[in-house]
Chain A
């Protein structure tokens, strides 16, 4: 296999197809229990709070706060070589403190990133037909 020029594309799990389909539409769809209405992340089959198998997908506001971050300077993947230094950020969504996504911040210098800063989801193409949920300063 030739060295890839991009990070790997997500392969949607059966239980998470709507999350990735939502990203491609520009919507941040979060999984919620249809019975007890509690959110969960990562997407999964059963509600860990009430064990219901019924689920629904809720369009989240896309608003959240930076929970933590790192600036990667040592590339460990061929596609990272031309990208370092780059940020990897955890964003905690305002809908529920359990919703903490690993993502990237765009539209900001790496050295300006701070824990707690408000951010807003944006959707960026990784390759044609595959959009990822990223965040920008709100």
Chain B
């Protein structure tokens, strides 16, 4: 069977500053991040003929084309569930478009004013609406509104089934915060975090504490995808898309609520395809990026992606392996959604490329293969990259 393996590569990455209030429009953030990614690739905007965006992004393809001066747009797509499924989903859409000749150079991006609310409503606040239609009818009338509250239910169930502790969740928050301390663009630089700080942070929705929840951030991040052949002629050494996978199950109908007693999840569906398509094993991964919206879902993603067995996520994340530089599986090395900035995970995709180029601030020595996973607990996506 023909696969996507190494047919496409990421040739450019770019981002804006990450802040609590950008003071700029969302399309300004998108245009700047994309312009930076195109320049990083050594390309011109007129070389771009495809745009893949998050379905939740307020910027549309043609307005971006009109800002960037892209006169011949041959591919445009939205990553569904983007949202948390977007930071890899957009890249895979671009890779598939490039591999099939639908386009030659595609930008994938996310830009939002999620913290200041200039355009995007804060995800941590309920939108006040008249009535609860669809699946929301089975949650909002009971006071379940935010992703954190839904995740708390799954976190509690995991603790009950496996003896997982809040300190295990805290280890993930501490790893991200530690990595952010050397990153000048990280929102949480200069604010280190210990397990004790995590344990004394206020409860949001028991058992979820403040530091189990990601940031809310204004900013933009973008990558340029082109064919492997073309990428080899550009400015940087290509970062090849070795494999990608989409995953969901029929249990994803209530957003962010997991079904831990089921053998299948969105992330197990992905794991079944991803490693086989790439032709690598878990121990081949040099650095990993797991979408960190909420710490319990990171722990569960490690289990469901097959890095450890179900129920073993607590000890797995707590033994120091996730910490750069000495851990065996450095994770979210720029600080992630929890501490660099919440650009819906797209900043993790950018950092993965910098790691494989050898340009990262917290550079993993000799990093060759990276795994990037979009958000667990929603229909999601993941990819394996290599240099």
Complex interface: chain A residues within 8 A of B139 (CB): 102
Which stretch from A24-32, A54-62, A83-91 is at the chain B interface? Answer: A83-91
Stretch of B32-40, B51-59, B154-162, B216-224 on the interface side: B154-162
Residues B258-278 near A (CB distance < 8 A): 259, 261
A16 to chain B, nearest CB (A): 7
User: A73 at the A/B interface (Cβ < 8 Å)?
Assistant: yes
Q: Contacts A74-B203, A88-B149 known; A13 to B134 CB distance under 8 Å?
A: yes
Q: Mark B122-141, 1 if CB is under 8 A from A, else 0.
A: 00111011111111111111
How many residues on B have C-beta within 8 angstroms of the other chain's C-beta atoms?
43
Hey, what's the 0/1 contact readout for B215-246 against A, CB within 8 Å counting as 1?
00000000000000000000000000000000
CB distance A9 to B202 under 8 Å?
Answer: no
- Say yes or no: A72 contacts B254, CB within 8 Å: no
Question: A10 is contacted by which of B141, B148, B254 (Cβ under 8 Å)?
Answer: B141
Q: Is the CB of B143 within 8 A of A73?
A: no
Is B142 touching A77 in the complex (CB atoms < 8 A)?
Answer: no
Cross-chain contact B142 with A103 (CB below 8 angstroms)? yes
In which size bucket is the chain A interface? 35 or more
Contact bitstring B157-192, A, C-beta under 8 A = 1, else 0 = 100100000000000000000000000000000000
Chain A 92-120 against B: per-residue CB contact (8 Å), 1 yes, 0 no?
A: 00000100111110000000000100000
A8 to chain B, nearest CB (A): 4
A70 and B208 within 8 A (CB): yes
Q: State A74–B154 Cα separation when bound (angstroms).
A: 18
Task: Kindly report which residue of chain B lies nearest to residue A74, judged by CB atoms.
Answer: B204
Q: Does B318 interact with chain A (Cβ within 8 Å)? A: no
- CA A132 – CA B139 in complex, angstroms? 11
Q: Which 9 A-B pairs have the closest CB atoms?
A: A70-B152, A10-B137, A77-B126, A68-B157, A71-B206, A11-B133, A8-B132, A74-B204, A11-B131
- What 10 additional pairs, Cβ within 8 angstroms, besides A4-B128, A77-B128? A1-B128, A3-B128, A9-B141, A11-B133, A42-B138, A67-B157, A68-B156, A73-B205, A100-B259, A104-B142
Can you report 26 residue pairs joining A to B where beta carbons are below 8 Å apart? A1-B128, A8-B141, A10-B131, A10-B132, A11-B133, A13-B134, A20-B137, A70-B205, A72-B205, A73-B205, A74-B202, A74-B203, A76-B149, A77-B128, A78-B128, A88-B142, A88-B143, A100-B259, A101-B138, A102-B138, A102-B153, A102-B257, A104-B143, A115-B157, A115-B160, A132-B141
